A = this chain, B = another copy of it.
Amino acid sequence: MHPPEALLSDEFDPGFRTSLEALIRLRRDVRHFRTDTVPQATLTRLFNLAGLAPSVGLSQPWRFVLVEDAARRAAIRANFTQANAAALAQQSAARAGLYARLKLAGLDQAPVQFALFCDPDPEQGGGLGRRTMPQTLAYSCVMALHTLWLAARAEGLGLGWVSILDPSGMAALLDVPHAWQFIGHFCLGHPATHDSVPELEREGWETRRAVQVLTR
């Protein structure tokens, strides 16, 4: 599993960098999926790549939970529906109609669904680097997820992050240690379409803006 030695000292070539930029630019938060399955070998490869993400003190605190059971999937869908209704009530009348039309979850279509939790006190890593900022554990989990997201897009797969959930019941719902911190729930599969522009931008909800960098 070791890379060619040449890559250790050499630069990645310009063609790769151009494609990497395209990957970053074309990665979408996908909500519309085809229902055909994702091969197990592909899933395994994606999770293994996620495990190469940076983690504070090499603690690797990410805990992935594939959700296959129909009753658990239904319970997550119910959690989403309730949280989504509450979110809708908070929006102004003018935006509520638009908000309601945005399909915010692929929960009904995506063939693969998984949750991501963070172990808030992993033995691995010996506590290194996180005394003043324990939230770096959650941040490590997010980088693992983001690694998987990019790698999935490179395989033509799409991922959608379902953040409109009440996190408090997720550990019990999925029968994992109650101390585990819920990071997010994710839909994965072949996207119905490959879009170059985010859905929220296409729908007129919001537009991307240039990064502002302050100097001090």
Contacts and interface: CB of A to CB of B under 8 A. Distances in A.
Interface string A16-49: 1101111111110100000000000000000111
A80 to B, nearest CB: 10
A9 B127 CA distance: 45
A41 to B, nearest CB: 13
Nearest to A166: B132
A101 interface: no
Contacts of A17: 151, 154-155
A210 B48 CA distance: 7
Given A126-B95, A163-B136, A211 B104 contact: no
Query: How many copies of this chain are found per oligomer?
Result: 2
A212 B8 contact: no
B21 A19 contact: no
A147 B57 CA distance: 20
Interface in A74-124: 83, 86-87, 90-91, 95, 99, 104, 114, 124
Contact of A127 (B8, B90, B151): B90
Q: How large is the interface on A (under 10, 10 to 19, 20 to 34, 35 or more residues)?
A: 35 or more
Contact of A211 (B50, B83, B196, B214): B50
Interface centre among A124, A126, A184 (most CB of B within 10 A): A126
B163 A130 contact: yes
A59 B136 CA distance: 21
B49 A21 contact: yes
A3 B197 CA distance: 11
Interface centre among A155, A206, A210 (most CB of B within 10 A): A206
A142 interface: yes
Contacts of A29: 54
